Amino acid sequence: MAKYLSNNGHGNRRPRRSRHKWHYYIPTVIMVVLAIACVAVIGWVIKSVSDLHDPSLNDGTGQIIIDTGSSSDPVTEPSTEPTEGAAPVDELIAQADLLAAGYDYDAAIELIKSSPEFEGSAELGDKVAEYTLLKSKTSAYAAPHTVTHIFFHSLIVDTDRAFDGDEDQDGYNLYMTTVDEFKAILQQMYDRGYVLISPYDLAYENEDGEFVYGDIMLPPGKTPFLMSQDDLNYYSYMIGTGNGKNNTPIFVDGNNDGFASKIVIDNGYPKCEYVDADGNVHIGDYDLVPILETFIQEHPDFSYRGARAILGVTGYEGVFGYRTKPNYQAELDAMHAADPDKYPSYEEEVAAAKEVAQCLRDHGWILASHSYGHPAYGNISADRVAADSDKWENTVEPIIGETDVILFPHGSDIHTWREYPADNAKFVALYEDGFRYFFNVDGNQYWNQLGNNYFRGGRRNVDGYRMYHDPEKLEDLFDVETVFDDARPLPVPGKDGTSM
Ligand SMILES: [Zn+2]
């Protein structure tokens, strides 16, 4: 991408301001567009497996099973989605109710009033009155600096294979969360009134080029929070045999460690491919993205104005499970030439990853840098930070699109807790690369900082280490005792300096 010009450290320019505005309105726009699109395609949404956008699915690992990840937890379309033959007014109200459930009462009212049926309809008039009353009960969240931010890595689907005693077991036990734990966490946080918000709603660059807290308009009893996931790459060590750090792309095989292997698009929604221990390929809710997506469809009031989590990707093994690293191109194209049914071409792989990125963005997910090679930015020189970030911009951003959010690898920040000095060489390099939202890892319940020309926040790891060693640090979010997965080998080891 083109680099953003430096503002010479004075913070008076408003780089990418229009993009902030655009981000701000995306959730509302997308919800309406999606609702309309659903009506348009209602007649043919029952898809065949050929629509999975995934040329590698039909390779020899076994049958393809389309499911939703859990028989007890079926994917339901939003309850407010219009059904075939529904009256237009009912459809309109369903769409408006969905907007109102996500606390966007103005958009709900506007949608109702935009209807030609509005004049003279008592039912629609009542709806406007209802939304107006609900809106009057909201107020701006009083303490935005206390908004907490939790983060996860890839979720463990099959604990038998993740905790099989091999060399990766301790890392998974320390830094990963299981699917069952994640689902329990979501439910408990929802029950406690937590509402997922976007960092663009928490803080944004105002007309004067200064970062300020936004007004998060919520009813009493609701608590906003941020969520992110690091390393949404489906690395070779998790999904197969071999080392994907060299020039040879590694694809999923039956020896995977019980994780999903890629994000795919299913009926317009992000889902995961997962290969079980018998080699069967499943499409469903096998990682954070589709699980949270399904949860929000079932509980639209868990998401503030369509917010989803932030997803951080590195570049050294491709993104979202697609082997898009440019160094793979020669070998992948050779593999494709030798066995075109089993392996996609490099070009096809890049195209598929771009489609996934667009699908994620369309649903409100924020895509972020997690660096190219996962070095600890705090421990390397400014020149190396700049070089790593440039490599990410040159090889990852063309695929996932522009972003102004970075999740520091290892949580390693580029400066102390004090504000970034305008002449800090690492900050200058990242600022010039377009980053405005910086997130480290911090054990505190919350830590947020409004800089002059940036926003910075701490994130809490919700993983085996934290749940086992510091359960009291998670008490505000959920009850660890009822969440902790019995399948974990105990004790969860202490940290020995390794991290993911
Ligand atoms: Zn990481």
- The environment of the single-atom ion ligand 1, i.e. residues with CB closer than 5 A, is 230-231, 409
Q: How far is the CA of 294 from the centre of ligand 1 (A)?
A: 25
Using the structure block, give the residue that is written with the tokens 């990852």: 396
Question: 65 — phi, psi (to 5°)?
Answer: -120, 120
Distance 98 CA to ligand 1 centre (A): 34
pLDDT tens digits for range 258-277: 999 999 999 999 999 999 99
Answer for the pair 304, 218: CB distance below 8 angstroms, yes or no: yes
Ligand 1 centre to CA of 152 (Å) is 10
Helix axes 17-40, 88-101, angle to 10 degrees: 140
Question: Encoding tokens for residue 220?
Answer: 């009493």
Residue 321 Cα to ligand 1 midpoint, Å, equals 15
Enumerate the domain spans of the chain.
17-77+140-483
Nearest to 461 by CA among 448, 475, 444, 447: 444
Confidence band, pLDDT 50/70/90 cuts, at residue 86: low
What is the per-residue pLDDT for 48? 38
> Residue 434 Cα, ligand 1 centroid: separation in angstroms?
20
373 Cα to the center of ligand 1, angstroms: 10
Say how many Å lie between the CA of residue 105 and the centre of ligand 1: 37
Model confidence pLDDT, tens digit, residues 296-348: 999 999 999 999 999 999 999 999 999 999 999 999 999 999 999 999 999 99
Count of residues for the chain?
500
453 Cα–ligand 1 center, Å = 25
Q: Determine the pLDDT at residue 14.
A: 33
Compute the distance from residue 25 Cα to the ligand 1 centre, in Å: 29
pLDDT digit string, tens, across residues 460-493: 999 999 999 999 999 999 999 999 999 999 999 9
447 with 464: CB under 8 angstroms?
no
Contact 431, 454 (CB under 8 A): yes
C-alpha of 98 from chain center: 21
- Ligand 1 centroid to Cα of residue 370, in Å, is 7
Its pTM stands at 0.84
How far apart are alpha carbons 392 and 394 in whole angstroms? 5
- Backbone dihedral angles phi then psi of residue 437, each to the nearest 5 degrees: -115, 120
Confirm if 364 and 307 have CB atoms less than 8 A apart: yes
**Assigned CATH class of 17-77+140-483:** alpha beta
Distance in Å, CA 51 to ligand 1 centroid: 32
